[in-house]
Structure 1
Amino acid sequence: MKKIYLIEDDPKIAGLLKDYLEKYEYNVSIVTEFEHILEEFMEIEPHLILLDINLPRYDGFYWCRKIRSVSNCPIIFISARDSGMDQVMAIENGGDDYITKPFNFDVVQAKIKGIMRRIYGEYASSKQADLLEVAGFSLYLTAMEAMFQERKALLTKNEFILLKAFMDNINQVLSRTYLLEMLWDDEQFVDDNTLSVNITRLRKKLEDIGIEQSIQTVRGAGYKMINTWSEQQ
C-alpha cells in the first residue's frame, strides 16, 4: 500500500482528503506537528507528499526545499493561491505538480495515480527513485545509507544531508555558509564547529567503506567532493 504524507493545516480539508484517498487504498498520514515536518517525513517515509503553501510558521515552499535536501519523494502542492508566480515558485522549489483549491477530488486522485505510476509503477525508470549513484558509489535516500563495494555505512541526518549535497555537486566547491544552511533545522543551533564535526564524522564513515580522501577542504572557500573511488574498483 502506497503511503501519502498530507501537509494541510485545515483539518476539514485534511480529513476529507484522507477519507477519499483511503478509498483508493492509499495509507494517508496527516501532519501532526508543523514545526517538525521534516522529522515526520523521515519517520513516515511516504511515497508521495501533498503540500499546502499557507502553513503555520513556515510556508510550503520552505518545507519543500527542506524535503528536497534529503529526498526525491514526489511533491504535489495543493493551495488556494492561484497566481502563476506561486505555481512557478512551487516548481522551482522542487514541486512536481500544483493543484488549486477548491479542487475536484477525482483530479487529485488522478494526478496522484499518474505520478505514482511514473515513479514507482509501469512507467518508472530502471533506476530506483530513492537511489543516488556516482560511479558505483551509492546513496540510498530513504534509508540514509551509503554503500560501496558491498560495504554499508549508516548515516545520521546531518551526515546524510552533507553527503547528498556533495554527491549532487560532485567536483564543485560548496561554501561553509551553504552547508550550514543545509544543516539548519530550526530546532538545533548550528555553527562552524557543528559543521566541522559532521564533516569529520562523514569522512570517517566513508573511509570505513573504502571511500578515502574524497571530501577535501578548499582553504578559504569550503569543501568539495571528488571521485577518488573509481580507480579502486
Structure 2
Amino acid sequence: MKYITSLFFVLALASGVSRAQTTTNPSLMQALMEAVSSATLSDAQVAEVSRQAIKEMDAKNPVADANDPYTLRLNKIVSRHQTIGGLPLNFKVYKVPDVNAFATADGSVRVFKGLMDLMTDNELLAVMGHEIGHVINHDTKDAMKRGLKTSALRDALASGSGTVGKLAQSQLAGVANYLWEAKFSREQETEADDFSYNFLKKNGYSVMALATSFEKLAKQGGGQGGRIASLISTHPDSKVRAQRVRDRAKRDGLLR
C-alpha cells in the first residue's frame, strides 16, 4: 500500500492514504481513456471521472455513518455551506488516523478522523476552504490534464492498445503515481490560501483559524511520520503561510 505525497486529491486510481484505499475498475478507466483521447478536457469530464473515483473510494474505506459523532460534528460545521462558488458539495468522514482532507472536482469533500481530532471547527473550515479553493480555481482540472497528457496511459492509447484489458498493471500504476503526486505551484497554493481566507471573512468566521491551522500543522510536522508528513511535505512552509495570514489580517483591521 502506498501513501499520498500531496494533501490534495486529484483522482483515486490504484492506491491510497494509510488505510484509505481504492481500486481501478473498467468503467473508470474507460472514462479516463475517453478524456485523454479528446482534444480538450472539460470541467464536466473531470467531474465525472472524479465522481466515479470517489464512489469507489467511499466503498473501500471506513466511512463514518450518519449517526457517528464525527459525522454529526462535520454536518454541524458545514450546515451553512452546501454550495460554494456555485459548486454543490457533499461531505463525509473517513475514520482513519491520518491528518488529511481532500476535495474533488465533483464537489466531494472527504475529511479524515485524524484531522478532525487535531483541529477546531473553524480550523477545519479553513482547511476545507483551501481544498475547495483548488477545485474552484481549476487547479485539480489542470493537474489531471497534465497527468493524462504525460502518462503511460496516453502512451498505451497511442500505441493502439486502447482497451482496459490490454493496459499493463505497471502502466496503470504509472498513471496513478503521477496523479497522486501531482503538486500545485506556490502561486496556486497561495491562491487557495486566499480563497480560504476570503471564505472565512465573507461568512463571518475568524480568519485567524487559517493561521492557527497552519501553526498546528507546523508543530505536528516533527516526529509524526506518515500520518502528517504527507500533508506537510508538498506545501510551502506552514509557519510562513501562517504569518502571511496574520499580516493580511492586520492590514484588514482584523488583528491588532
User: Does TM, scored on the shorter chain, surpass 0.5?
Assistant: no
Q: What's the TM-score once normalised by structure 2's chain length?
A: 0.30
More contact order relative to length (CA 8 Å, sep ≥ 6): 2
Larger of the two Rg values belongs to structure: 1
Please state which structure has a larger fraction of its residues in helix.
2
Q: What's the TM-score once normalised by structure 1's chain length?
A: 0.32
Please state which structure has a larger fraction of its residues in strand.
1
